[in-house]
Amino acid sequence: MTPLKEVPFVVFDTETTGLSLTSRIIEIGAIKIFKGRIVEEFSSLVNPGVSIPPKATSIHGITDEMVKDAPPIEFVLERFLKFLKDAILVAHNAVFDLRMLAIHLERIRMPLFQNPAVDTHTLARKYFPELKKYNLPFLVEYWQSPYNGYHRALADAKHTGFIFFRMLEKQGLSLNRPLSQFWEWVGKPLFVKDCLPQIKESDLTNPKVKLIVEAINQERDLEIIYANGHLAFKPRLIRPILCFRSGKYHYIEAFCYTDEIVKTFRLDRVLRIKVITDLC
């Protein structure tokens, strides 16, 4: 049976332009741990193609100036997926980071990775109910992480890795224990495919949503009239990629042929949708 010490773990974190599903990743940081030691690091800023809101900058300190020469997300994700290989993923509030990765991978038509993931926030709440808080800064102080800094991807990944292995130690799960016992302790793993926002049956009662979902499934282009932007109230041609709900609004992720980039459109601001049929 495979012992934990022979299993690679990748602990990762993302920084984004915000917390909504329309936010963009602006930094990915990760560490690879093997036999209880950090053997490799990954860190990259990302040019999101949009301005970073001041509220987000006030949290992580990342500015437009810092990312203006950074690579776009497709290049960073390609490197990150190579870094992952067959490792088990670890993150704090993992669903958020996995969802961000899933949306970005879907946008650029890259395959969703199959690595199982575990969430240190969920494990801390499950096995340490006596704690007052479960956010990362509290756990860092509580278990005295030796690393410095907060709210930057690589620093938070290092903190999360320390907390993860401290929890294993506290629960008596040494690196000599079998991997099967580890999964019994964790429970059901997370997978990035399950974190991709999905349209529910009830959403399909909205004619616009239904039309967009059909266009995505059939890989068809749409002509839309949108109420915002430099082409407001003028036709623009798009290829829809993803449709999802965030809060009370539906959104479309689509490649805009006019601007030649992937853009986000709020569905209630789409005034008209026309399916472009193949010309014979």
Catalytic residues: 151
First-to-last CA distance in the chain?
60
Tell how strand 88-91 and strand 117-119 pair up.
parallel
Residues 6+ apart with CB under 8 A from 54: none
**What are 25's strand-pairing partners?**
16
CB 128 within 8 A of CB 201: no
Give the three-state DSSP class for 184. Answer: helix
Let me know if 176 is exposed, middle or buried by CB neighbors in 10 A (0-12, 13-18, 19+).
Answer: exposed
CB 164 within 8 A of CB 11: yes
